[in-house]
Amino acid sequence: MLRILIVLLGIVTIIGAETVQIPTMNFALSAPDTPKQLVSSLNVLVVLTLLFLAPSMVLVMTTFTRFIIVFGFLRQALGTQQVPPTQLLVMLAMVLTFFVMEPVGTKAYEAGIKPYMAEEIGYEEAFDKTALPFKNFMIRNTREKDLALFFRIRKMQNPKSVADVPLSIIIPAFVISELKTAFEIGFLIFLPFLVIDMVVASILMSMGMMMLPPVMISLPFKILVFVLIDGWSLLIGNLIASIK
């Protein structure tokens, strides 16, 4: 019986091989024959480039830098080492960044991407209109001193409008401003916890308990104070309020 099944299976395989045609795949690259084919290829290239640069754009053109640096300072001030974990802080910074930048992204989509997809405008106009809401946002949160620094380095004249400011100048000026703002907020976060550490260290020294690390005693008090003042809500509320 087993031999009969094997023979029948072989016959079915042979018949199937003769009747079923296996499709072939061709990965050859060829020059475009029409302008439409060229535009389609360029569209794919632009999409792949944007996907590749998306993480970097999130870091330098949004408030992600401010959020993640402040959260890092908070964890160091509390002295909790790896609590909250880095992955959680990064995700929280990403969520808050999306919350803050969602109106800006909507304006950019409505002004540039949507009409371009409808074939109402070209590449250059779509790029300028899409970048304009991000330019306005970055300039509002950039110090004039930092913006003027890069204009002096490039030896360029002062712009007449936001549209005249190139992204190559706005982005580094915005990053510097975000770093300075984040460090200022981090300094203010450190102060109350530093006072708690100093008070606990002074009490331990006055009691002659110099061999006991002050961090072990001050950590529960710092966590208690942070919870009592509803620290997360207070910190995130003030962070978002500081964004123009």
CA atoms within 13 A on the CB side of 129: 17
> What are the phi and psi torsion angles at 209 (to 5°)?
-100, 60
- 146/119: higher pLDDT: 146
> What is the pTM for the complete model shown?
0.71
- 210/115: higher pLDDT: 115
Residues with Cβ within 8 Å of 236's Cβ and at least 6 positions away in sequence, in order, are 96
Handedness of CA 60, 64, 70, 76 (dihedral sign): negative
Is residue 222 within 8 A of residue 79, CB to CB? The reply is: yes
pLDDT in tens, 191-225: 888 888 788 778 777 777 767 676 777 788 888 88
What average pLDDT does the structure give for the chain?
76
DSSP codes, 169-236: HHHHHHHHHHHHHHHHHHHHHHHHHHHHHHHHHHHHHHTT-TTS-HHHHHHHHHHHHHHHTTHHHHHH
pLDDT in tens, 176-190: 999 999 999 989 888
